[in-house]
């Protein structure tokens, strides 16, 4: 059993980092999961309970020993939802050039409890889903017009290698988000084509929203397909380049970004970051 406390649990540095860590957990065999939302005042107690019950901060050697004994290892991923930015459409956020805090101490937190194959109380007591099957593991967020919705789905995709097909994990836009971004882009392209308006401002804002998507392969491919299908006029003079992919060299965790430090922080906006869709 680890000697660390729940307050010392590290929180991913960014939303993209949290998504990448979830992907890597599933990629390394943590296929069984459940997830949900918690208000900030309950997060620490929940994390402490999971730590005591499943040793979610077990060391690598402890996890390797558990694997030899055919016991399940369990991980807990926590992240504060970026619900402050969700009262406005992404296009309007971009158009108004808003910047937003990296977290809200009084907001809702997402939790993901993930485990490997094996014996133990995790499989006996938790109601689990399998990330390899439908419905897919989702990343959710609040939308003012549509309440809580899945924003991205974790999926595996076939990759051809010298030895044959291999399946790699990645994220893709959920049908809800894909339809929403398609609607916004088509509307913006229509404004730019309009003989009355010919105003590219809304289109630029929507494209900025697409560029702010996490840089996972399928998400980027979906963003490009939305742009290509939108009939954007060349006369609009806008940059339709989407951008690069997630930088896997970036650190997922920072030692000073702990659950305790975030919950104890005063409700004052920290250094601002660009808005994400």
81-90 pLDDT, tens per residue? Answer: 864 443 344 4
What mean pLDDT do residues 213-234 have? 90
Average pLDDT of the chain to the nearest whole number: 84
CA distance readout (Å), 227 to 145, 185, 197: 24, 7, 20
What mean pLDDT do residues 115-132 have? 96
Cα 193 to chain centroid, rounded: 34
Q: What percent of the chain has pLDDT over 90?
A: 57
Give the model's pLDDT for residue 232.
Answer: 82
Q: How many CB atoms lie within 10 A of CB 150?
A: 17
Higher per-residue confidence, 16 vs 272: 16
Rounded distance, CA 53 to CA 122, Å? 8
* Band (244; pLDDT cuts 50, 70, 90): confident
Higher per-residue confidence, 96 vs 11: 11
Region label for 243, one of left (φ > 0), alpha (ψ between -120 and 50) or beta (otherwise): left
- 181 pLDDT above the threshold of 70: yes
- 162 pLDDT above the threshold of 70: yes
pLDDT digits (tens, 9 = 90+) for 64-116: 999 999 999 999 999 998 644 433 444 443 444 333 333 333 478 999 999 99
Classify each residue of 70-108 as buried b or exposed e, where b means 16 or more C-beta atoms within 10 Å of its C-beta: ebbbbbbbbbbbbbbbbeebbbbbbbeeeebbbbbeebb
- 171 pLDDT above the threshold of 90: yes
The number of CA neighbours under 13 Å toward the Cβ of 188 is: 29
- 16 pLDDT above the threshold of 60: yes
Rounded distance, CA 52 to CA 118, Å? 18
Rounded distance, CA 223 to CA 241, Å? 10
Start-to-end C-alpha separation, the chain: 39
Classify each residue of 28-63 as buried b or exposed e, where b means 16 or more C-beta atoms within 10 Å of its C-beta: eebbbbebeebebeebbebbeebbeebbbbbeeeeb
What mean pLDDT do residues 111-132 have? 97
- Of 28-37, 100-109, 118-127, 258-267, the range with the lowest mean pLDDT is 100-109
- Of 134-148, 182-196, 255-269, the range with the lowest mean pLDDT is 255-269
């Amino acid at each position: 059993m680890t000697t660390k406390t729940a307050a010392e649990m590290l929180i991913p540095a960014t939303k993209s980092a949290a998504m990448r860590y979830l992907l890597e957990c599933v990629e390394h065999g943590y296929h069984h999961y459940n997830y949900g939302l918690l208000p900030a005042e309950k997060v620490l107690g929940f994390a402490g309970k999971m730590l005591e019950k499943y040793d979610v901060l077990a060391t690598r050697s402890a996890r390797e020993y558990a694997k030899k004994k055919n016991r399940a290892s369990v991980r807990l991923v926590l992240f504060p939802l970026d619900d402050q930015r969700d009262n406005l459409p992404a296009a309007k956020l971009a158009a108004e050039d808003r910047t937003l805090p990296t977290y809200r101490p009084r907001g809702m937190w997402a939790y993901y409890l993930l485990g490997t194959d094996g014996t133990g109380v995790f499989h006996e007591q938790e109601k689990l889903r399998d990330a390899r099957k439908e419905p897919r593991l989702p990343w959710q967020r609040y939308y003012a017009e549509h309440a809580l919705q899945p924003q991205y789905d974790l999926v595996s995709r076939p990759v051809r290698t010298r030895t044959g097909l291999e399946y790699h994990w990645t994220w893709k836009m959920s049908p809800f988000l894909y339809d929403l971004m398609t609607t916004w882009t088509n509307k913006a392209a229509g404004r730019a084509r309009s003989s009355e308006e010919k105003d590219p401002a809304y289109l630029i804002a929507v494209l900025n929203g697409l560029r702010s998507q996490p840089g996972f392969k399928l998400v980027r491919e979906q963003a490009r397909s939305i742009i290509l299908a939108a009939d954007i006029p060349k006369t609009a003079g806008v940059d339709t380049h989407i951008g690069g992919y997630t930088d896997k060299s970036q650190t997922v965790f920072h030692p000073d970004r702990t659950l305790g430090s975030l919950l104890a922080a005063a409700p004052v906006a920290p250094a601002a970051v660009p808005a994400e869709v």
